[in-house]
Structure 1
């Protein structure tokens, strides 16, 4: 009995509650607490003392109608309240079937607005035509975002210690990511030139090791670049290029562009998940833009685009003679294969040869590209034309 009384002392009973509060995600703890605080203020203003399914139904109905919350926002809020209410009020709202049914009905027919993506030719044009004394920072951020598939929230965390040069190629390590899985990517020429140019402008004795510093009138300052600045860069690029609806190029544009270019180069979605850029197939599919089939070419990978952009323009807009020749070659190929492959529709088709679980070769008329994935790193070599 004495042991039981000591075991149930007040100090010991306080430990589980403190431990539960620490289960909130460290990066978004303030958001969780803010969402819970708003909900508690709402029930207090309505004179409600007990949390029930009907109370939560009324709360979410008001958010969806009066405040026009979108279905993804409602689900995000539900997830945060599910965690916080369980911790602070010991109520499990996962058991509320009517609430879940309401959220599912709201999601029916909803199509999320996704950021537009840049074509590889547009990226090259911006790099070549935009003046460096004004757009050098944006150019470097775009190179990092597209080459590494980086989120706008990951770019502020890049430090000068995360970048190393090996045989003329920059290797960038990303220790802090949204998925908490470190990854790396490489930057080749001619893009290395822009990064080195920006790095050379770094002021001496900067009190931070963060790589991205504010850039104005051809000079870097000691002020670091924040997430909101990165989020506005795609719109800045689209505006300079004179693209339609530049406001639709949001902070996700560079990452979606990276996914689209890589997907159009040939690798499957499963192989794209190998570098740990995306946690699930659903996340990856959401990042890929549905571009016309004629743009599915191996050279759309951004690292090779500077050498192939002009060729792509000729392929996209063939002359009548070129089109006739292309059709004849397609018919010949189909005949040789005894019509076993109905997918061969044009000369821009490619084939993928898998050598093993880590290596594959992509072939088409323009050339071949060998891709090897090891230790969460993508290595592209043996590019032949």
Structure 2
């Protein structure tokens, strides 16, 4: 149940109450993916999201569903805010109590941002109307900082600063030849 709740919470950028109120009846298994409907949202605009079979997630969901009694419509209420703290405890992270149900929503936004998804798509996915609010959910992850560092240090832009140096007028050793250099990075 914890694994399924974690997958659904992150895949759908679910608020705690959205995950709590999600029932098996809100999930449609269409074979190659799950289509999930969140009818009651904070913004009063229903949302739909999809879980695909990346990493056998559908198999895990189907196994969970097969263990439920027939006609069972239980939600994740008994674990509403505990899923992130249980995962944090399993991962032996510090301050386990700090990991609340809202971490799933924040993780979803951060994972999308780290993957290079634009803010409009992130807003649409999570149901945010404000860009400022959406940006507030994106954590400064190490992955994102690494991408930025690589862009800064490797240089992904086409503009370049060109400087002509007269070797005889500088302290550069005369055995270094800068003639006919293209795309030289120093």
TM class, shorter-length? 0.7 to 0.9
Alignment of 1:245 with 2:66, yes or no, is no
* Residue-by-residue CA offset, 1:302-355 (whole Å, 9 max, x unaligned): xxxxxxxxxxxxxxxxxxxxxxxx99x947x66xx3428xxxxxxxxxxxxxxx
Tell me the residue number matched to 1:178: 42
Which whole-Å CA distance do the structure 1 matches of 2:112 and 2:38 have between them?
Answer: 19
Alignment of 1:200 with 2:66, yes or no, is yes
1:181–1:276 distance in 2 versus 1, CA, 3 Å: farther
* Residue-by-residue CA offset, 1:97-127 (whole Å, 9 max, x unaligned): xxxxxxxxxxxxxxxxxxxxxxxxxxxxxxx
Which whole-Å CA distance do the structure 2 matches of 1:288 and 1:152 have between them?
Answer: 17
1:205–1:290 distance in 2 versus 1, CA, 3 Å: closer
Contact kept in structure 1, 2:84 and 2:103, CA below 8 Å? yes
Give, in angstroms, the shift of residue 150 of structure 1: 0.3
Tell me the residue number matched to 1:154: 18
Tell me the residue number matched to 2:176: none
Matches within 5 A, 1:98-109: none
Matches within 5 A, 1:351-366: none
Give, in angstroms, the shift of residue 276 of structure 1: 5.5
Aligned length: 156
- Please give the secondary structure, in 2, of the residue aligned with 1:172: strand
Could you list the structure 1 runs, at least 4 aligned residues long, displaced by more than 2 angstroms after superposition: 292-297
1:159–1:232 distance in 2 versus 1, CA, 3 Å: closer
- Please give the secondary structure, in 1, of the residue aligned with 2:17: coil
Matches within 5 A, 1:15-94: none
Q: TM-score, length-normalised on structure 2?
A: 0.73
Comparing both structures, which one devotes a greater share of its residues to strand?
1
**Larger Rg, first or second structure (1 or 2):** 1
Structure 1 residue runs of 5 or longer lacking an equivalent are 1-136, 213-224, 298-325, 341-385
Structure 2 residue runs of 5 or longer lacking an equivalent are 162-186
Which whole-Å CA distance do the structure 2 matches of 1:296 and 1:230 have between them?
Answer: 34
- Please give the secondary structure, in 2, of the residue aligned with 1:274: helix
1:158–1:270 distance in 2 versus 1, CA, 3 Å: same
Q: TM-score, length-normalised on structure 1?
A: 0.37
Q: Per chain length, whose mean CA-contact separation is higher, i.e. which structure has more relative contact order (CA < 8 Å, sep 6+)?
A: 2
* Residue-by-residue CA offset, 1:267-325 (whole Å, 9 max, x unaligned): 2222322346212123212211112334559xxxxxxxxxxxxxxxxxxxxxxxxxxxx
Query: Of 277, 280, 283, which residue of structure 1 is paired with 2:133?
Result: 283
Alignment of 1:258 with 2:94, yes or no, is no
- Please give the secondary structure, in 2, of the residue aligned with 1:154: helix
* Residue-by-residue CA offset, 1:75-100 (whole Å, 9 max, x unaligned): xxxxxxxxxxxxxxxxxxxxxxxxxx
